[in-house]
Structure 1
């Protein structure tokens, strides 16, 4: 009897290890386990049946290298802002892990412009201001499509310097990150500030992507993300995570004038995302 019980236990342990799966996540921007995507990935996979274990690949890698690592099977999942190239190269999970807050843009401005911007209430009025963006940012195309004049630079630090020198008027940055960028990169800057009056909104977000043949992980993430949204744990995570909580604690989104523009060239999968996934201050 004891021998039979021992054999059964050994078989059970063997089978469990066979079905356990390690999900390897990249070291995005050297953030390691502090990355928002890492936290949401762990949350989503904790909501599904199956033995998934999230592990960090600790190698530092560029964004381009990370996509190659996914393609070659060295990692299992990536996350990032909406990108046509990424969405067609891999299999996207069309559920925004940031609830679309990346598309809520606050303006870093020279303090001299604060009183002028405080009078803006329409898109036509906002178009009279020039914008700054990163050279390779998809957001620059979105702003140009909406009729804005856009100047570009290779880094946020360069953009802050240009804003200080009034090379352009407004630097739209995502609500979860704008204060962090200004605190870190412009810590002693007495000339720049975050506008308190308006928010520019366009359909955008951060998404997980997996290899095109990884149906198991895609289905697990879809199921887990839906569960985390429905039970409120995704929103709770966003409100407390160091890389997203500023959108709730400092941005005062519910009291700002909202100006909305379109995002061009959206995929059909993006267009089909249910409304419940898009953050609205007066609803969530």
Structure 2
């Protein structure tokens, strides 16, 4: 009898352990950094949608704060984190397993500029990428965006620390800091003491996607996250979170400003497997770009490839 009770208890404990999946994500270095809020909400949504089919889960931050390169390295080594969210690239898709559902519906490739207050006139004179190339952008040293901007002929100064980038901009180390439309408003508020401003006339765009990534061998988590995201897309909860989250609402507001000049950039890092043809995954794709500027043809282009404003409820499609 005691043996039977022991076996039942052991099986119960084993089943409980198997049912609860521990999922760790990178801890932000700064407590004021709110960039992860939307992605954590979406991750929680995807896991909740699959609780019945895949079991319970424990979602928690990693033990220590991580910059992006350390988080990706930890995931590659399968140590410390089970999932990250980051912009895709060919290299990252070779090293890790992407869940190819764009978390921001493609908005991450829509970039506005943080500048020093009082310097808007310098950017009013920008009519093309060639004009913008006379100014210096600031970017993270390990960001794919750095490679993308340089591939389009733009001058980029790199920095190894995200938090210090705003101080560097304020001190004149570079002229502008391209930020995602979902990032810039909150970052301005968080760094109000630096007297920075949101540039009012330009919108950079390159086709891009922010994905969840897992270790290449973590087949179970990859399938679970894809299943959860697709269920959320199907029942409308993905779109509801997207449109109701404060960061996304501010992003859509920026895109709906009709007087912004659209400068399209080529993205040489975009994997061929990017599901651009699946229009259900993107916000509201418009026409293909009429002309892409790349290192081979940018010198021959004197004007921006497309200068029409971004239509309400749309973003430029690559």
Deviation (angstroms), 1:24: 0.8
- Structure 1: where are the runs of 5+ without partners? 1-9
CA offsets 1:65-113 (integer angstroms, 9 cap, x no match) = 5445543365432222224443222211111212222221111122343
Q: 1:231–1:139: structure 2 CA closer, same or farther, 3 Å change rule?
A: same
CA distance in 2, matches of 1:75, 1:150: 31
Q: How many residues align?
A: 273
The alignment partner of 1:25 has SS state of strand
Counterparts of 1:261-272 in structure 2, within 5 Å, are 261-270=265-274
CA offsets 1:144-188 (integer angstroms, 9 cap, x no match) = 101111222333454334433444332211111112222222x12
Counterparts of 1:1-284 in structure 2, within 5 Å, are 17=16, 20-30=19-29, 35-48=37-50, 49-63=53-67, 64-67=69-72, 69-70=74-75, 71-72=77-78, 74-118=80-124, 120-185=126-191, 187-190=192-195, 192-241=196-245, 244-249=248-253, 251-255=254-258, 256-270=260-274, 274-280=278-284, 282-283=313-314
RCO higher in structure (CA 8 A, sep ≥6):
1
CA contact (8 A) 1:42 1:54 kept: no
CA distance in 1, matches of 2:238, 2:98: 19
CA distance in 2, matches of 1:236, 1:189: 34
The alignment partner of 2:101 has SS state of coil
CA contact (8 A) 2:137 2:156 kept: yes
CA contact (8 A) 1:199 1:253 kept: no
- Structure 2: where are the runs of 5+ without partners? 1-8, 285-311
What's 2:290 paired with? none
CA contact (8 A) 2:21 2:57 kept: yes
Deviates more, 1:14-23 or 1:228-237: 14-23
Deviation (angstroms), 1:53: 1.8
Q: 1:196–1:77: structure 2 CA closer, same or farther, 3 Å change rule?
A: same
What's 1:7 paired with? none
Provide the TM-score with structure 1 as the length reference. 0.79
